[in-house]
Chain A
Amino acid sequence: MEDLKLKLKQQIIDSLNLQGMKPEEIDDNAPLFGDGLGLDSIDSLELMVLLERNYGIKIEDAREGRKILTSVQTMAEYIQQNSKI
């Protein structure tokens, strides 16, 4: 799980071009949107593409997506249970 979270953080940094940020600077439980990383709606689309491309996960229900994309922790848990790659 820890390896997955570290890998996921690096993928988020690369995908969203978070220049100057390191994986260890992202708190596992900090909110991705709003106060935490301060991501926006376009970033949420990028994160959904990230999940589909790297883990074969397609999020089709927006409500479910909101829960999955809450934090690195929630994303990693969902990936562990649902990854198809």
Chain B
Amino acid sequence: MRQPLYILSACSISPQHSYDAENFLNPVVTTDDGKLRITAPDYSKYISPVAIRRMSRMLKAGITAGMKSLEMGGVTTPDAIIIGTARGSVTDMETFLKDMINLQEEALNPTGFIQSTYNSVNGWLAMMTRSTCYNQTYVHRGFSLELCLFDAQLMLSESQDKKYILAGGFDELTDEYVIIRGRIGYYKEQKLNSLSLLSHNDTSGSVAGEGAHFFTLSNNPENAACAIHTVQMLLKPTSEAVQAAIADMLAQNELQKEDIDVIMCGMNGDSRSQFLVDPVVNDCHEHTTITTFKQLSGEYDTASGFGLWLVNYLFTQKRIPEEIVYKKGTSTRIKNVLLFNVTILGNVTLMLMTTPPARP
């Protein structure tokens, strides 16, 4: 078994009030226009007025979530900054490309260009923490965050000393981005309230979402709320392959099906990927509670980050909010949790999380 990733702290900026975990889901944020945009917190605590005026929405959200996660974890300078994003700073990219067209490639503004790169959030976080450590960005569509966690796990496995890694993911939506992805069937054509997304799984597409989710990770369990033991990615699997992968994962961690207390299920309401979801939901043990999160976050490439934040929330709050329960199980404990995420393209990611080992 690889080195577990202990989550010391987590911060999420999502369509819900997740930034202020005390008021999470109070109230539940919904939309009827197919776009779940982030609920923006006050960014001024972490970003200076001079810097903030140049930043796009998701740049501000990514930096703030990263800095707050470090602060909550009591880490000033991390040993690595590893981030996953499928699209990077889309707003800045669009600004720059539009300028190129409108100004015929003459006298282009530098800010859009500088901040349109995928690694601008990494760069800002490194500057703000005065960190010259390992700094990496993974850009692999629906596996971006998972590869980032994979890298963090490998890095922590290699170290005998205590190490702290800031890891996370972000992706944003823009109106044009939704139009383009909508043309290739990513989003539902019918109008619906986002909260009812999962009951519309007889039609294709989902609801667009966005968010920034950051985690302070360590190889030291002290003060950790939960541990990620295994991260697995499955490229366009069959439903049998998903079942087999879950069984293998449980066996590797010496767990039985009935030991899973919660499955945090990233079903997205898309009829084309429902065949991957149904067997997992129907065949789970009666102990297991199935919870869902994409009716709250919307669908995007790094949406599993919101799922991961939510699992950490369950461990820290020691309760499951009614709003996310899809199928209630008989177990009342929260000890072993499986995060099962499905993307629009039919890819699957699995993460097994448990409570950290008790102190001797």
Q: Which residues of chain B are near A42, meaning CB under 8 Å?
A: 54, 110-111, 114
Q: Is the CB of A17 within 8 A of B53?
A: yes
Binds A, one of B101-109, B152-160, B239-247: B101-109
| Mask: chain B, 71-107; 1 = CB below 8 Å from A; 0 = not | 0000000000000000000000000000000010011
Tell me how far the C-beta of A11 lies from the nearest C-beta in chain B, rounded to whole angstroms.
13
Cβ of A52 within 8 Å of any chain B Cβ, yes or no, is yes
Residues from chain A with Cβ under 8 Å of B103 in the complex? 53
Taking a contact as CB atoms under 8 Å apart, the answer to whether A53 and B110 are in contact is no
User: With an 8 A cutoff between CB atoms, is B180 at the interface?
Assistant: no
Place the interface of chain A in its size category.
10 to 19
Q: In the complex, which residues of chain B have a beta carbon less than 8 angstroms from the beta carbon of A52?
A: 106-107
Chain B residues with CB under 8 A of A12: none
Count A-B pairs with CB separation below 8 Å. 27
Instruction: For A53, give the chain B residue with the smallest CB separation.
Output: B107
Interface residues of A in 13-56 (CB under 8 A from B): 15-19, 38-40, 42, 45-46, 49, 52-53
Q: Determine whether the beta carbon of B50 is less than 8 Å from that of A38.
A: yes
Point out the residues of chain B lying under 8 angstroms from A17, CB to CB. Answer: 53-54
Contact B53 A46 (CB under 8 A): no
A49 touching B110 by the CB < 8 A rule? yes
A15 vs B53: C-alpha distance in the bound complex, in angstroms?
A: 11
Binding site for B on A (CB under 8 A): 15-19, 38-40, 42, 45-46, 49, 52-53
Can you identify 17 A-B contacts, CB atoms within 8 angstroms? A16-B53, A16-B54, A17-B53, A17-B54, A18-B53, A38-B50, A39-B50, A40-B50, A42-B54, A42-B110, A42-B111, A42-B114, A45-B110, A46-B111, A49-B109, A49-B110, A53-B103
- B residues lining the A interface (CB < 8 Å): 50, 53-54, 103, 106-111, 114
